[in-house]
């Protein structure tokens, strides 16, 4: 479970990224974060990831208050999270297998487990035949699938995606969303997006942010600003 | 090991730069260490020789010489006195020139002088003892080694101070150079490091491949330097042996243990290699630790 309790985030120059935001996301819930640029979507993802600390309020992830940087071992927390970025962040000097195996290697899984899990993830994202391809040999959609496979691989039950379809055409976008749908019952998925079509079509929970404030929290909602 | 070699292959110039810097520093270090040890060995050798020796003319009897010995012992300024008879002097001569039959044929016990070898209780008594011996009737020659010891002692001190300063400068400079080179390597992998941190990699996990690589290069360079050094010593061995003729061994005292530094003994050789490897691997590890620190500990706000 992820819980925000009156969370505010002020940047050093005084501009507010978030103001008094509160919400709770249950395990295996699928949530869209929507809002204009600078509304605070990425700040929420970064707070969950422990890459930012709240100025006030509490962020609770898996029953642990991660607001106090001195009390939290983020390495352990992050081993249960998968991150997906708009620009994929696929490592150019590593092949598909090595990219997907990265998280498992960080978790010190044995090679037999790594091979098995990577194979499952490749099958899930439809890249079984491109295991040893390098990123330069893949299309944008395939690169994002690699990034998703990497985020899903292992015991990562919280998936944070920041504009995962921002660089993709409509067809590829839907292919990507189908992958998320396949795993939505096993993982908590939080997607920050501007894509109105997918938010309106998927009918999932939507948190609407505006100028750092949570203005709407809709179950089976649509894209609203 | 495969990943380590792949990393070296993918950044060959940086790896070569690290290797070369370590090679130069470690070579200078081993030469300095050996020179200091050699000088200390030489100093110990000279100090262990009789501090004052008196050689008597042929007509002086053994009883007269022993009287002089008793007078010296009674003075309270002498720790020990050793009487070396003509025959004993001849035996020593034979031992020193065993490879030169011509020299052995030319000398008999009769022409070698009897002598007394004197060790003072304090170096400050040496001039008094020398004065006394110069007044002894029947003396042929008095050898007084205080000046040699003093000069060698001051030379050793100077070499030690200069070497330690130079060594420290060398170490710091090398660490800075290695840090700069490693910075390049880390910067090339900045995206990967950021991603790994976001995926839960600890600082140690991220740092490990960099550390492994630099420590591997440290180990290889210290081994290469050691082998080159031993090769040079073996090549220069005949020249050094002829220069040190008469000196069988040189040793330094290490906490009561006499470590033979010349000819290079197995324990000394192992110690030298261990020390060199320690410095090589240590410098590489320290520089990598600091080079990666900047990227691993970004303060979150």
pLDDT in tens, B155-192: 778 877 888 898 889 889 989 999 999 888 888 888 88
Mean pLDDT across chain B? 85
Percent of chain A whose pLDDT exceeds 70? 98
As given in the structure block, the two tokens for residue B224 are 């290469």
Task: State how far residue B4 is from chain A, nearest Cα, in angstroms.
Answer: 15
φ, ψ at B211 (rounded to 5°): -65, -45
As given in the structure block, the two tokens for residue B119 are 């060790």
Give yes or no for B301 touching A (CB within 8 A).
yes
Query: Which of the four pLDDT bands, split at 50, 70 and 90, describes residue B50?
Result: low
- Smallest Cβ distance to B201: which of A11, A50, A106? A106
Considering A73-87, A98-112, B101-115, the range whose residues carry the highest mean pLDDT is A98-112
- Smallest Cβ distance to A49: which of B196, B198, B205? B198
In this prediction, residue A169 carries a pLDDT of 84
Nearest CA in chain A to B188: A93
Q: What residue has token string 């749908």?
A: A181
Query: Can you give the three-state secondary structure of B223-235, one letter per residue?
Result: HHHHHHHHHHHHH
Strands of A81-84's sheet, edge to edge? A81-84, A158-162, A188-192, A30-34, A205-210, A213-218
Mean pLDDT along residues B219-228: 96
Contact A103 B205 (CB under 8 A): no
**Full set of structural domains in chain B with CATH:** 2-47+149-296 (no CATH), 50-144 (3.30.70.3040)
As given in the structure block, the two tokens for residue B126 are 């040496």
Nearest CA in chain A to B193: A91
Q: What residue has token string 């993982």?
A: A187
In this prediction, residue B301 carries a pLDDT of 59
In this prediction, residue A158 carries a pLDDT of 94
In this prediction, residue B218 carries a pLDDT of 94
Cα–Cα distances in angstroms (integers) from residue A116 to residues A29, A104, A131, B45, B146, in the given order: 26, 11, 13, 69, 80
Nearest CA in chain A to B7: A93
Nearest CA in chain A to B194: A89
Beta-bridge partners for A8: A56
| B197-226 residues touching A, CB cutoff 8 A | 197-202, 205
Query: Where on the phi/psi map is residue A26: left (φ > 0), alpha (ψ -120 to 50), or beta?
Result: beta
Mean pLDDT along residues B260-267: 87
Of the two residues B267 and A155, the one the predictor is more confident about is B267
Please tell me the distance from the alpha carbon of residue A160 to that of residue A81, in angstroms, as a whole number: 7
What number of other Cβ atoms are within 10 A of residue A105's Cβ?
Answer: 16
Nearest CA in chain B to A49: B198
Q: What residue has token string 């010190």?
A: A108
Contact A106 B301 (CB under 8 A): no
Mean pLDDT along residues B224-235: 94
Please spell the DSSP secondary structure of B73-87, one letter per residue.
HHTS-EEEEEEE-HH
Please tell me the distance from the alpha carbon of residue A205 to that of residue A182, in angstroms, as a whole number: 17
pTM, two decimal places: 0.70
Question: Does the pLDDT value for residue B279 go beyond 90?
Answer: yes
Mean pLDDT along residues B284-297: 86
Mean pLDDT along residues A4-14: 88
Contact B198 A52 (CB under 8 A): no
A82-94 pLDDT tens trace: 999 888 889 988 8
In this prediction, residue B23 carries a pLDDT of 92
Residues B256 and B32 sit within 8 Å (Cβ to Cβ): no
Q: What residue has token string 């110990």?
A: B44
This complex has an ipTM of 0.85
| B159-198 residues touching A, CB cutoff 8 A | 191-192, 195-198
Question: Does the pLDDT value for residue A224 go beyond 80?
Answer: no
Contact B200 A49 (CB under 8 A): no
In this prediction, residue A24 carries a pLDDT of 94
Give yes or no for A83 touching B (CB within 8 A).
yes
In this prediction, residue A113 carries a pLDDT of 93
Give yes or no for B8 touching A (CB within 8 A).
no
Query: Which of the four pLDDT bands, split at 50, 70 and 90, describes residue A30?
Result: very high
Question: Does the pLDDT value for residue A205 go beyond 70?
Answer: yes
Of the two residues B256 and B279, the one the predictor is more confident about is B279
In this prediction, residue A70 carries a pLDDT of 66
- Smallest Cβ distance to B300: which of A12, A52, A83? A52
Long-range contacts of B169-175 (CB under 8 A, 24+ apart): B170/B25, B170/B28, B170/B29, B171/B25, B171/B279, B171/B283, B173/B25, B174/B21, B174/B22, B174/B25, B174/B283, B174/B287, B175/B283, B175/B286, B175/B287, B175/B290
- Smallest Cβ distance to B192: which of A78, A91, A107? A91
Selected for mutation to probe chain A from B190, B200, B205, B206 (highest A CB count within 10 Å) is B200
């Amino acid at each position: 479970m992820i819980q925000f309790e009156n969370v505010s985030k002020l940047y050093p120059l005084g501009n507010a990224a978030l103001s008094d935001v509160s919400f709770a996301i249950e395990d295996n819930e699928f949530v869209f974060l929507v809002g204009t640029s600078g509304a605070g979507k990425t700040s929420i993802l970064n707070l969950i990831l422990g890459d930012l600390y709240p100025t006030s309020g509490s962020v609770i992830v898996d029953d642990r208050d991660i607001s106090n940087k001195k009390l939290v071992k983020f390495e352990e927390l992050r081993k249960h999270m998968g991150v997906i970025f708009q620009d994929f962040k696929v490592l150019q000097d590593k092949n598909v297998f090595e990219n997907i195996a990265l998280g498992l290697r960080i978790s010190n899984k044995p090679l037999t487990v790594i091979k098995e899990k990577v194979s499952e993830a490749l099958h899930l994202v439809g890249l079984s035949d491109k295991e040893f391809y390098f990123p330069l040999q893949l299309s944008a959609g395939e690169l994002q699938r690699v990034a998703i496979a990497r985020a899903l691989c292992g015991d990562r039950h919280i998936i944070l995606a920041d504009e995962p379809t921002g660089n993709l055409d409509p067809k590829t976008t839907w292919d990507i969303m189908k992958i998320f749908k396949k795993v939505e019952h096993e993982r908590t998925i939080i997607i920050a997006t501007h894509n109105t079509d997918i938010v309106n079509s998927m009918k999932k929970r939507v948190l609407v942010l505006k100028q750092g404030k949570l203005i709407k929290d809709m179950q089976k909602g649509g894209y609203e600003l | 090991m495969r990943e380590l070699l792949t990393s070296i292959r993918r950044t060959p110039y940086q790896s070569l730069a690290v290797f070369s810097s370590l090679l130069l520093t470690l070579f200078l270090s081993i030469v300095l260490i050996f020179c200091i040890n050699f000088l200390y060995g030489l100093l110990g050798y000279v100090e262990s020789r009789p501090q004052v020796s008196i050689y008597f003319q042929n007509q002086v009897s053994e009883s007269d010489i022993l009287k002089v010995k008793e007078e010296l012992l009674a003075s309270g300024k002498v720790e020990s006195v050793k009487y070396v008879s003509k025959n004993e002097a001849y035996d020593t001569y034979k031992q020193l020139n065993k490879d030169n039959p011509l020299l052995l044929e030319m000398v008999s016990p009769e022409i070698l002088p009897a002598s007394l070898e004197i060790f003072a209780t304090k170096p400050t008594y040496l001039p008094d003892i020398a004065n006394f011996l110069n007044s002894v009737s029947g003396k042929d020659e008095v050898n007084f080694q205080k000046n040699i010891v003093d000069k060698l002692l001051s030379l050793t001190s100077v070499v030690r101070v200069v070497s330690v300063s130079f060594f420290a400068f060398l170490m710091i400079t090398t660490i800075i150079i290695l840090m700069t080179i490693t910075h390049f390597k880390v910067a090339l992998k900045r995206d990967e490091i950021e991603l790994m941190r976001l995926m839960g990699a600890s600082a140690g996990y991220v740092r490990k491949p960099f550390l492994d690589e630099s420590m591997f290069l440290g180990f290889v360079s210290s081994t290469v330097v050691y082998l080159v050094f031993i090769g040079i010593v073996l090549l220069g061995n005949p020249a050094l042996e002829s220069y040190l003729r008469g000196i069988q061994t040189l040793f330094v005292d290490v906490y009561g243990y006499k470590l033979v530094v010349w000819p290079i003994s197995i324990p000394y050789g192992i110690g030298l290699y261990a020390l060199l490897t320690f410095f090589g691997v240590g410098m590489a590890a320290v520089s990598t630790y600091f080079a990666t620190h900047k990227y691993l500990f970004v303060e979150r706000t």
